[in-house]
Chain A
Amino acid sequence: MAGTDLLVKVTDDTFAEEIEQHEGLALIDLWATWCGPCQMIAPIVAQIAEDYQGRVKVAKLDVDHNQKTPMQFGVQSIPTLLLFKDGSLVDKVVGAVPKQHVVEKIEQHLG
């Protein structure tokens, strides 16, 4: 299955169920359509979804249509990647970072 097919589309209404009630690691990409760096990191996020299939839940949330979640986590710059472990926020990555940077964060919290 391609990485993009593995991405879970999350909204403010489904955030609690999809992320906060998820056991294990969950990575959520907070993005917007017309954000250039968001477009750069999108294929990296999709690749991570494929590489970590079954080990990390990878999701996306459009901040232009969902404002409660980014407000809750104090997001300003996008893209922002939030990493949750058993429903609790454990790490945050801001900007169009290289894939290895995100992988290192995930590996720190896997196990």
Chain B
Amino acid sequence: MSEPSEKSLERMRVYTQKYWEKTGTSPHPEKTVTDAVVTGLALHIDELGRPLCPCNFYPDKKAELERSREWVCACDEMKRYKYCHCLLFVTPDGLPITEYLPEDHEGRQIYGLVRDPTPGQGREARHKVGAE
């Protein structure tokens, strides 16, 4: 099993800490969940140059990055809906915020309605919802 460089790990640790504060979200109560995702993001920085979400399947990771920055952390879903299906940016209870998702989104089907405890923060790309 490959390990990320300490430089990329530290970069992602700093990034996630700042993004929790910026968006009013929390780390998952199970530290192993957060550690796994941060490690996966750091590995993708080393391999691909960008922190591609490790909770998706990509037939070709390089082609995915050429296609779009959609799944580069923080992903489009996080910036628009404050929803992190990777469980990196969640409520204090460890649930992903689903309040802003379309009702037919799989996140609503999996987790039900999860309210945003800090509605004044985050969703920096909310203006793009429905705009494309």
Contact = CB atoms under 8 A, between A and B. Distances in A.
A and B: interacting chains: yes
Nearest to A75: B57
Given A36-B88, A95-B106, A95-B111, A76 B57 contact: yes
Interface in B17-33: 28, 30, 32-33
Interface string B61-103: 0000000000000000000000001111000000000000000
A40 B36 CA distance: 11
Interface residues of A, number: 23
Contact of B55 (A38, A67, A70, A97): A38
Contacts of A78: 55-57
Interface of B: 1, 28, 30, 32-34, 36-37, 39-41, 43, 54-57, 59, 85-88, 106-107, 110-111
Contacts of B40: 32-35
A41 B92 CA distance: 19
A33 B57 CA distance: 12
Given A94-B106, A95-B110, A97-B110, A36 B55 contact: yes
B80 to A, nearest CB: 16
Given A36-B55, A40-B87, A77 B106 contact: yes
A61 to B, nearest CB: 10
Nearest to B33: A36
Nearest to A66: B57
Interface centre among A32, A37, A40 (most CB of B within 10 A): A37
B86 A36 contact: yes
B56 A39 contact: no
A34 B54 contact: yes
Given A94-B106, A95-B106, A97-B110, A34 B56 contact: no
B37 to A, nearest CB: 4
A63 interface: yes
A77 B56 contact: yes
